[in-house]
Amino acid sequence: MRCELTAAEARSQLYEIMRGDEPFDTKATAALELGSRYLGVDHGHVAKVDPETDYWEAIHSTDTADGLYPVGLDGDLERTYCRQTIIRETSLDLHNVPEQGWADDPAFETHGLHCYHGTTIKLRDETYGTVCFVSKDAREPFSDDETLFAELIARTLEQQLERQAHSSERVRQKNLINVLNRVIRHNLRNSMAVIRGRTAHIAEQCPDAVGSQTILNQCDRLIDLSHKARTLESVIIEEFDQEQQPLGPLLAEICDSVAEEYPSASVGIECNPELSVAVRPSFEQALTELIENGAKHSGTAPSVSVSVTTVPNAVQINIADNGPGLANTEREVLTDGIETPLAHGSGLGIWMAYWIVTSHDGTIDADVTEEGTTLTVEIPRNASVDGDSTPETVETVSRVHDKFRSVFEESSEAMLIADDNGQYIDVNQRAGDLFGMDPQALLGRSIGEFLPDGFDFESAWHSFEDSHTMRGTSPITGRTEPNGPPSSPQNGISSLGSISLSSET
């Protein structure tokens, strides 16, 4: 039975099928139906095979559930024509099996098919399966156009499988990133906060205890690493489009902030205030990491110079410092885009900057000399025509969490988060101001430590655990930070504050 479609019409319909947004299963079935019609055969199917285990299964098919080759049918590869297709690694076209000398083949003896056209599909250079078109009855020889069209179906389905596998891998990596960051951000960070709090308490009781300050420093280092991991995750799932933004004011604000944090550093900037670039909000984080890196690691008298030049349809931001030079492990991040083991965590900031800049279709180059390091960031002046190049966003809960973090960190009210034992595992800057302590020093400390001696904290906490909410007022007492001067306010009742507790259930 000859098909009414021409080869050009069949190709056009196939491309239309593949351009659609339907799932792969839908596209595969539609392509097989089109192929069966064009070739004039009973039906088509995609078979998944494993030559090593002699496994064969029809995973897509135009046949009905009660037909010869419905979806889900499995059997021995040795008793199918597909085994020969895979061995040949080229199309196998049999229009009349007995006449072509295949009457004693196990496939013909098992299924009795007189007509078969099969093409191998590979996925990542490994045999995946075959695209087959079959009929019970013999037919005239396949024409060159028909063979080419059957092969075209196989290649387009192969491409779709590659995209599906790539998409699945991206989802897997994204979920892995989420899991690892949740562990670092919550489990590890919370545990480190408790360790820090207990160590601080021991240091208060035993000021001469050997190693307590070292432990506190390492706790602070790991807690800071968890903060960067959270920032990195927010960059990965960022949803914002690129928008034109004046570059001069942005750099000036970053440089002022870095100079304030590192008062011994000299930070200068040279930029045309009218120059603008198309960036996402995360771009500020990348520049902050790079400029801060120069101020932090350039010795006792650090000097950081930031200058901006223009090139055709792009801008170059040069960040020069007088430090000892960027470490080889961090330079490899910029040249290869591959993060080295993060046991020490030193490269996480550079990795974050690399990720952000490359998501803007930009580059970062490092030039290390005896005078120091110059990092050159180059990004297009206009937004990418492909739109947002970041991976797909994760679950809504991640976006809600990030909005909460923004409110938590920027709030003008003191906010503290405690674990089930009443120990602080996260505090904002305003809370540190209220207690007269560095927010980091509050981590791991108990709520009860800052209440008057006569306050029955244990009883109040048990009542809170039962009701999941509590409001009231209580005096707040000051505490001494370990290995440092007494905190302000001093020990004793310092103020009367409103205490509000709530619990997620």
User: For residue 169, which amino acid is it?
Assistant: E
Q: Which region, left, alpha or beta, applies to residue 492 given φ > 0 means left and ψ of -120 to 50 means alpha?
A: left
Per-residue pLDDT of the chain in tens (505 residues, 90 and over written 9) = 556 788 999 999 999 999 888 888 999 999 999 999 999 999 999 999 988 889 899 999 999 888 888 998 998 999 999 999 999 878 999 999 999 999 999 999 999 999 999 999 998 888 999 999 999 999 999 999 999 999 999 999 998 888 887 777 776 666 666 656 666 556 676 777 778 887 887 887 887 777 778 888 888 877 776 666 666 655 555 555 678 889 999 999 999 999 998 899 999 999 988 888 888 888 898 899 899 888 887 778 889 999 999 887 789 999 999 888 777 767 776 766 554 444 334 456 777 788 788 888 888 888 888 888 999 999 887 754 433 333 343 444 444 445 555 566 666 678 888 877 788 878 888 888 888 888 877 877 888 888 887 778 888 877 777 766 666 667 777 654 444 443 444 333 344 344 555 554 3
Domain residue extents for the chain: 7-169, 241-390, 413-502
- The neighbouring-strand residues paired with 48 are 57, 129
Total Cβ atoms within 10 A of residue 326:
22
If DSSP codes are grouped into helix, strand and coil, which group holds residue 116? strand
Indicate if 413-502 has the same CATH topology as 241-390. no
**Non-local CB neighbours of 1 within 8 Å, separated by 6+ positions:** 40
- Phi and psi of 403, rounded to 5°? -65, -40
What Å distances lie between residue 364 and 119, 247, 313, 381, 410, CA to CA?
45, 17, 17, 15, 31
Q: Could you tell me where the DSSP H helices lie in 49-143? A: 82-88, 106-111
Q: What token pair was written down for 320?
A: 């020069």
Euclidean distance between CA atoms 314 and 248, whole angstroms:
15
CATH code reported for the domain at 413-502: 3.30.450.20
pLDDT of residue 62: 94
pLDDT of residue 116: 96
Q: Answer whether 449's CB lies under 8 Å from 466's CB.
A: no
Domain 7-169 falls under CATH 3.40.1180.10: no
**Domain 241-390 class, CATH top level:** alpha beta
How would DSSP label each residue in 9-35? HHHHHHHHHHHS-S-HHHHHHHHHHHH
pLDDT of residue 117: 96
pLDDT of residue 119: 95
How would DSSP label each residue in 438-490? -HHHHTT-BGGGGS-TTS-HHHHHHHHHHHSEEEEEEEEE--BPTTSPBPSSP
pLDDT of residue 386: 39
How would DSSP label each residue in 345-394? -TTHHHHHHHHHHHHTT-EEEEEEETTEEEEEEEEESS--TT---SPPP-
Euclidean distance between CA atoms 2 and 7, whole angstroms:
12
Nearest 5 degrees, angle CA 283-CA 286-CA 289?
150
